[in-house]
């Protein structure tokens, strides 16, 4: 195997024996075979569009299949094999219709690849593909194609999240098919591939906008909310991942059963949504970021549900309490299918002891999405003009276990008291419970939401730039981001597509970025690697 798509990849170069995420060589080969099959489906879908043929089932499935290969999503060989077989079936059906419409049927190898009928045989097909190393013979073109593929995995995740809530745009599906088809071809110019990567970021801005519309249109705009970090005496269900609809269905189905529902990881911001916080048994938050689940989940005395991504191999101490749903999968773990009947989760929660006593561990604030922040924009602008607010910092992104991430804790601790800090995604768990005070009644630390809420941060920045009559790069605003997986990659591409400069990224730069590609990013966007908190603050604030 070879995989370098996450920040923690072995030796900062690539995993070649087993993934640090927990995936085996077999799963890596299966994912490569699935990606290759989806390239073929995309070649045919792009050709079909030119002949006036589109297929909503192909659109949705393409995103689901690509999303399944994102880090910490699907580790189940049987399910990956099933996706590959479905991809080939959809591709071949679309080929027939394309031929009947008089269109030219693609002949590239992925468009004719036939997945084997068994898991073992498909893994054997995937291994010699050497998918990532074989994307191109030229190191810089290969680097850009990897960046594009990882961006597409993040884009597909956001697109799938939005589609679940009824928000779709055919232009997004068209781009995903076009870009996946491009990965199957050779000989593009470096500038062409740079443009394609930036286009991926531009399209992702639209996908994030749709997701924001879906979340707020369904559950209302988040409101500043104090979330308990302790627990209530009683039975318990813990919901992890990102999916608001799954949480809603669990809340509905567990209502009146004497069960309290808690969030974990990136589900924390769900407490700010009026449509979710209305449930009286939706109580508080348990634990911190995804990489700590092996330390924290053994202490949770209830059922645990993983939605979307961020699962690790469940330890024996809580394995039987874990359920997956949506695209998440782990072999041997009970899966809740598309009908979303969570009765097995509820039964497990009722069978487990639950918390035996109340516990008060304080609270944290969430719910400072764009609607909440912009409602006090006038107050913020006045504070800037009065020099009560000197600078804004966006400190957020994906957390992880690799050393070097204490930088973000130390940075927030050292940011002067006349500066505001916006945060989002699970990177906030490095400092989310710190009491940093306020400026003129506005909390200094504002939790914008999940990584899925990155559009909120973009909207806040654009609104402030408009209010001050300047560009985003002229604002007293610094972006200091941590990254782990491919959603963070596509968010970075989105910011670059908007022309945002001087982003500091860490704790290390993506292993797939070649020296020449990095120089392009430095020359055009002044992107920087983090150094030390003191040095970076001195460079930013003087």
Q: What is the pLDDT of residues 381-439, one digit of tens each?
A: 999 999 999 999 999 999 999 889 999 999 999 999 999 999 999 999 999 999 999 99
The verdict on 73 and 209 lying in the same domain is: yes
The verdict on 49 and 135 lying in the same domain is: yes
Q: What pLDDT, on a 0 to 100 scale, did the predictor assign at position 76?
A: 98
| C-alpha–C-alpha distance, residues 238 and 280, integer Å | 15
Phi, psi of 131 (to 5 degrees): -55, -55
The verdict on 110 and 19 lying in the same domain is: yes
Please report whether residue 417 resides in a domain. Answer: yes
363-366 and 225-228: which strand pairing? Answer: antiparallel
The verdict on 149 and 249 lying in the same domain is: no
- Give ∠ CA 411-482-412 in degrees, rounded to 5: 15
| C-alpha–C-alpha distance, residues 106 and 520, integer Å | 33
The verdict on 202 and 263 lying in the same domain is: no
Could you list the beta-strand ranges (E) of 137-190: none
The verdict on 71 and 105 lying in the same domain is: yes
442-443 and 391-397: which strand pairing? Answer: unpaired
- Domain with 432, as residue range(s), is 369-541
Please report whether residue 333 resides in a domain. Answer: yes
Please report whether residue 4 resides in a domain. Answer: no
Could you tell me how many residues make up the chain?
A: 542
Please report whether residue 356 resides in a domain. Answer: no
CA distances for 126 relative to 21, 115, 480, 534, angstroms = 19, 9, 37, 47
The verdict on 209 and 230 lying in the same domain is: no
The verdict on 341 and 445 lying in the same domain is: no
The verdict on 210 and 238 lying in the same domain is: no
Q: What pLDDT, on a 0 to 100 scale, did the predictor assign at position 192?
A: 97
Look at the block and give the residue holding tokens 């062409």: 192
Please report whether residue 357 resides in a domain. Answer: no
User: Element (H or E) spanning 439, and its range?
Assistant: strand 438-439
The verdict on 212 and 246 lying in the same domain is: no
Q: What pLDDT, on a 0 to 100 scale, did the predictor assign at position 538?
A: 98
Look at the block and give the residue holding tokens 């000197």: 390
* Contact criterion met (CB below 8 Å) for 104 and 47: yes
The verdict on 229 and 178 lying in the same domain is: no
Q: Which of 351, 379, 395 is the last residue of a domain?
A: 351
The verdict on 335 and 380 lying in the same domain is: no
Q: What pLDDT, on a 0 to 100 scale, did the predictor assign at position 187?
A: 87
* Contact criterion met (CB below 8 Å) for 111 and 60: no
> Checking phi first, is residue 524 left (phi over 0); if not, alpha (psi -120 to 50) or beta?
alpha
Q: What pLDDT, on a 0 to 100 scale, did the predictor assign at position 352?
A: 98
CATH code, 310: 3.40.50.2030
Ranges under pLDDT 70 in the chain? none
Q: Which of 164, 187, 218 is the last residue of a domain?
A: 218
| C-alpha–C-alpha distance, residues 526 and 504, integer Å | 9
The domain tally of the chain equals 3
pLDDT digits (tens, 9 = 90+) for 104-158: 999 999 999 999 999 999 999 999 999 999 999 999 999 999 999 999 999 999 9
């Amino acid at each position: 195997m070879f995989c370098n798509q996450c920040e923690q990849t072995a030796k900062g170069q690539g995993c070649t024996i087993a993934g640090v995420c927990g995936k085996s060589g077999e799963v890596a080969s299966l994912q490569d075979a699935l990606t290759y099959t989806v390239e073929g489906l995309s070649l045919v879908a792009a050709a079909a569009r030119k002949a006036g043929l589109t297929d909503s089932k192909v659109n949705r499935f393409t995103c689901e299949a690509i999303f399944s290969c994102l880090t910490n999503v699907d580790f189940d060989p049987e399910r990956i094999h099933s996706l590959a077989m479905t991809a080939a079936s959809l591709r071949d059906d679309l080929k027939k219709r394309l031929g009947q419409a008089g269109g030219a049927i693609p002949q590239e190898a992925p468009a004719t690849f036939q997945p084997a009928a068994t898991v073992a045989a498909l893994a054997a097909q995937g291994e010699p593909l050497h998918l990532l190393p074989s994307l191109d013979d030229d190191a810089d073109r290969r680097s850009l194609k990897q960046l594009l593929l990882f961006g597409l995995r993040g884009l597909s995740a956001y697109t799938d999240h939005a589609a679940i809530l009824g928000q779709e745009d055919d232009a997004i599906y068209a781009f995903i098919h076009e870009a996946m088809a491009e990965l199957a071809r050779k000989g593009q110019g470096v500038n062409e591939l740079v443009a394609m990567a930036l286009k991926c970021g531009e399209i992702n801005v639209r996908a994030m906008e749709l997701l924001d519309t879906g979340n707020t249109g369904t559950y209302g705009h988040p409101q500043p909310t104090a979330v308990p970090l302790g627990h209530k005496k009683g039975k318990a269900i813990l919901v992890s991942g990102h999916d608001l609809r799954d949480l809603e269905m669990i809340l509905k189905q567990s209502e009146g059963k004497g069960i309290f529902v808690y969030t974990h990881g990136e589900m924390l911001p769900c407490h700010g949504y009026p449509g979710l916080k209305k449930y009286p048994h939706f109580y508080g938050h348990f634990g911190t970021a995804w990489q700590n689940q092996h330390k924290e989940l053994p202490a949770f005395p209830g059922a645990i549900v993983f939605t979307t991504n961020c699962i690790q191999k469940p330890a024996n101490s809580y394995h039987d309490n874990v359920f997956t749903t949506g695209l998440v999968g782990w072999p041997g773990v009970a899966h809740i299918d598309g009908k979303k009947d969570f009765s097995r989760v509820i039964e497990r929660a009722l069978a487990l002891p639950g918390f035996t006593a109340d516990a008060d561990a304080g609270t944290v604030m969430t719910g400072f999405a764009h609607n909440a922040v912009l409602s006090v924009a006038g107050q913020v602008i006045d504070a800037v003009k009065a020099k009560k607010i000197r600078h804004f910092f966006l400190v957020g992104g994906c957390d992880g276990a690799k050393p070097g991430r204490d930088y973000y804790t130390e940075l927030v601790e050292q940011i002067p008291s006349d500066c505001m800090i916006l945060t989002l995604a699970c990177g906030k768990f490095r400092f989310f419970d710190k009491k940093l005070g306020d400026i003129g009644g506005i909390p200094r630390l504002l939790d914008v939401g999940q990584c899925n809420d990155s559009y909120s941060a973009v909207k806040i920045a654009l609104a402030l730039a408009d209010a001050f009559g300047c560009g985003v790069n002229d604002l007293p605003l610094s972006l200091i981001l941590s990254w782990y997986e491919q959603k963070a990659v596509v968010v970075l591409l989105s910011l670059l597509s908007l022309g945002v400069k001087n982003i500091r990224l860490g704790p290390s730069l993506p292993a797939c970025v070649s020296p020449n590609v990095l120089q392009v990013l430095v020359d055009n966007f002044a992107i920087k690697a983090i150094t030390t908190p003191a040095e970076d603050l001195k460079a930013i604030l003087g």
